[in-house]
Amino acid sequence: MTNAFTSSGLFGTLLSDPAIAAEFEATAFVGRMLRFEAAWTDALATCHVVTAEDAAHALAAIKRFSGADLATGSDRDGLPVPALVAALKRELPEAARRAVHTGATSQDVIDTAMVLTCLTVLDRLTERLDRVIAAVEALADRFGDRPLTARTRMQAALPATVALRLDAWRRPLVAHLARAALLREELAAVQIGGPIGARDRPAAHVATCAGHVAEALGLPLGPVWHSDRSRMMALGHWLTLVTGSLGKIGQDVALMAQQGVAEITLSGGGGSSAMAHKQNPVAAEAMVTLARYVAGQQGILAQAMIHEQERSGAAWALEWLTLPAMAEATGAALRHAEAVLSSVARIGTPDGTDAPG
């Protein structure tokens, strides 16, 4: 995540997820920005705004782009698109330069690339979530009928079975998985608004060009959403829900594993540097930490709703700080959940000895 301390390797992948992080890295994200630029150039040619020959030159430049130093451009301009566009145009004949980015704006490129990235990430996360649900169901098949002391406010309450607690773990996860399909529909929208969000360029051809780009990228074309960040908030909300439910599981597992309670037995690591008798529920604890982190970041992400006038550089940049980190944390939490659930060797009240009388 956006934290050199946790991403340096010192803490392994305890609080990070390389597979999810890779989707937001420069190579992958620039590749998606180039997909937008290629679709836009092709649309300009289709609408006869530029000639087919000029578009062919531009598309060749887009295809061979190998990653110029966009970081320097971002330091100067506040985002990488101006440097990207300049690099694409640099080697083109003068007439062909008009076939790159004409009528589009930086926000069109970055927002659309972010949508494509988030849709890929959402697919990865829902695949993991589906496996976590299956793991809970497998535990219910193995241990659901065993006795377990129900606890309210962390005090022994009434006799129950393991199925009661496992069902409380499973239900919200199933709901989140179903909600992901609706989220995907909400999230999947190309951004085409032009310089001020009016979607009026190229004049007389904008509707056809916009529709062509949307079709090429496999995204619906809806209203301009330059200053409406609702879909990004919805993604953050879903990430918060998923990690929160996983954090509940992690918290339960950590409490159930306490010495003297021993309602669950886990295989694996968790050693202490000072106390050899301990087996700390490390992955379960990480699930709690990650849930609390994502919940905190959602509060920051919500600040990105406050865009002044037609575009905010400050509010927009909050999404770049928070969403990748939230997605990565969710990936790590799901990975830990799979590991914890697969490591369960036993669940249930030991011999019913701490059941309330």
211-239 core/surface letters (b: 16 or more CB in 10 A; e: else): bbbbebbebebeebbbbebebbbebbebb
Q: How far does the chain reach from its first CA to its final CA, in angstroms?
A: 48
Rounded distance, CA 350 to CA 312, Å?
58
Q: Which three-class secondary structure state does DSSP give residue 40?
A: helix
Alpha helices in the chain (DSSP H): 4-7, 18-24, 26-46, 52-64, 70-77, 81-90, 106-143, 162-187, 206-217, 230-256, 282-302, 313-342
- Assess whether 151 carries a catalytic annotation: no
Structure tokens, 357: 């009388």
- Choose the catalytic residue: 131, 184, 311, 346: 311
- Assess whether 153 carries a catalytic annotation: no
Rounded distance, CA 245 to CA 177, Å?
12
Q: Which residues contact 204 (CB under 8 A, 6 or more apart)?
A: none
Rounded distance, CA 307 to CA 305, Å?
6
- Choose the catalytic residue: 76, 90, 171, 272: 272
Catalytic sites, residue numbers = 272, 311
